Amino acid sequence: MFEIFGIPSTALFGQLLIGLINGSFYALLSLGLAVIFGMLNIINFSHGAQYMMGAFAAYLILQYSGLGYWPALIIAPILVGITGILVERFFLQWLYKLDHLYGLLLTFGLALIFEGVARNYFGSAGLPYTVPDSLRGGLNLGFMFLPNYRAWVVAASLVVCFGTWFVIERTRLGAYLRAATENPTLVRAFGINVPRMITLTYGFGVALAAFAGVMAAPIYNVSPQMGAELIIVVFAVVVIGGMGSILGAIVTGFGLGVIEGLTKVFFPEASNTVIFVIMAIVLLVRPAGLFGRRA
């Protein structure tokens, strides 16, 4: 046991591990945002609200059908993904020809609506949702107590993140998608239904947010404002990583989780601000982000 800057090493490793766990959350959430912006050029400000809807869907599924965490992990993202598809069809498709910023404003408005409706029906204190029995308890690692649920979060996050990255960057479907965003007319000429791909991609991005929401429900307070609190941080992550880059979002998500964790140890009061400081610096030095493609 040795000390680094006055903090015992065991505590430091514990915090690093926790930072990694948080990072996996950020990565999962920013993944959906990066997919939507990278593929569709839409700044989805309602991502936080859709994350919240995922958590609420998990709660409602439990209330009305008795199905617990594991089925909810699949059903909730599908349900919320469908609402995403409806949003795209009814609202977003009219904005593609306009400036990015209109998409931002529209999704911002939608986020307010979702949050307001949730608050009206469920109040703002929050709803109870517990860790599923199969994941309760934890492992005593010596330097800290690692809850099983947190370990599961890291594992699931890694799988989903790299799975998505693989599909988009390494498969034919992903190639079609990337081509469609660069030159939709040409791709349509090849007989591929571009509007449908776009709709489904948006739905997928939203489903990713909802998936993160279900993962969050057992450990974070399930409240209407849970998304609003996170959305700014997630945007910072995506901007730092590079707004078009899937890999950037994943790596930055994990990385920032670790940095935030370290800040919490050495300088806890600043742990909120550190992400924005980094974002400002990155934007000034490398505006496309660490992994981004366009300036």
Partner 1 sequence: MERVVDPLAKRPSVLRAQSETIGFVVMVVALVVAPFVTYPLFVMQAMCFALFACAFNLLIGYVGLLSFGHALYFGWASYLSAYSAKAWGFPPELAILTGTATAAICGLVAGSLAIRRQGIYFAMITLALAQMMYFFALQAKFTGGEDGIQAVPRGHLFGIFDLKNEMTMYAVVLVIFLAGFLFIYRIIHSPFGEVLKAIRENETRAISLGYKTDRYKLVAFVLSATLAGVAGATKAIVLQLASLTDVNWPMSGEVVLMTLVGGLGTIFGPVVGAFVILVMQFKLAPIGEWVLVIQGAIFVACVLLFRRGVIGEIAHKLRIRL
Partner 2 sequence: MRRFMGLAALAAVLACGGANAQQVNVKIGVLSDMSSLYADIGGPGSVAAAKMAIADFTKDHPNVKVELISGDHQNKPDIGSQIANQWFDVDKVDLIIDTPNSGVALAVSQVANQKNKIFIVSGAAASDLTGPKCNANTIHWTYDTWMLANGTGTAIVKTGGDSWFFLTSDYAFGHALERDTMAAVEKAGGKVLGKVRHPLNTNDFSSFLLQAQSSKAKVIGLANAGGDTINSIKQAAEFGIVKGGQSLAGLLVFASDVAALGLPTAQGLILTETWYWDMNDANRAWTKRWQQERQGKWPTMIHAGVYSGITHYLKAAVALKGNVSDGKAVVAQMKSMPTDDPLFGKGTIRPDGRKVHPAYLLEVKKPSDSKYPGDFYNVRATIPADQAFRPLKEGNCPLVSG
- Residue closer to partner 1 (CB basis): 92 or 212: 92
The terminus-to-terminus CA distance of the chain in angstroms comes to 46
235 binds partner 1 (CB under 8 A): yes
98 binds partner 1 (CB under 8 A): yes
**Nearest to residue 4, comparing CAs of 265, 225, 285, 182?**
265
- Residue closer to partner 2 (CB basis): 43 or 62: 62
Q: Estimate the share of the chain in helix, then strand, then coil, as percent rounded to the nearest 5.
A: 75, 5, 20
Three-class secondary structure of residue 146 per DSSP: strand
Contacts of 141 (CB under 8 A, 6+ apart): 17
Looking at 26-34, 125-133, 168-176, 234-242, which segment touches partner 1 (CB under 8 A)?
Answer: 234-242
Q: How far is the CB of 245 from partner 1 (least distance, A)?
A: 14
Report the distance separating Cα 181 and Cα 190, nearest Å: 14
Using CB under 8 A, pick the residue from 232, 247, 259, 290 that binds partner 1. 232
Looking at 14-22, 52-60, 103-111, 255-263, which segment touches partner 1 (CB under 8 A)?
Answer: 103-111
Using CB under 8 A, pick the residue from 239, 251, 256, 258 that binds partner 1. 239
> What residue 276 binds from partner 1, partner 2, none (CB within 5 to 8 A, per partner kind)?
partner 1
- Residue closer to partner 2 (CB basis): 191 or 268: 268
- Residue closer to partner 2 (CB basis): 53 or 265: 265
229 binds partner 1 (CB under 8 A): no
- Residue closer to partner 2 (CB basis): 47 or 264: 264
Classify strands 7-8 and 3-4 as parallel, antiparallel or unpaired.
antiparallel
**Nearest to residue 95, comparing CAs of 83, 107, 84, 82?**
107
Contacts of 16 (CB under 8 A, 6+ apart): 258, 261, 262
Q: Could you count the other beta carbons within 10 Å of the beta carbon of residue 7?
A: 13
The residues of the shown chain that bind partner 1, judged by CB under 8 A, are 43, 91, 94-95, 98-102, 104-106, 108-117, 119-120, 232, 235-236, 239, 243, 269, 272-273, 276-277, 279-280, 283-284, 287
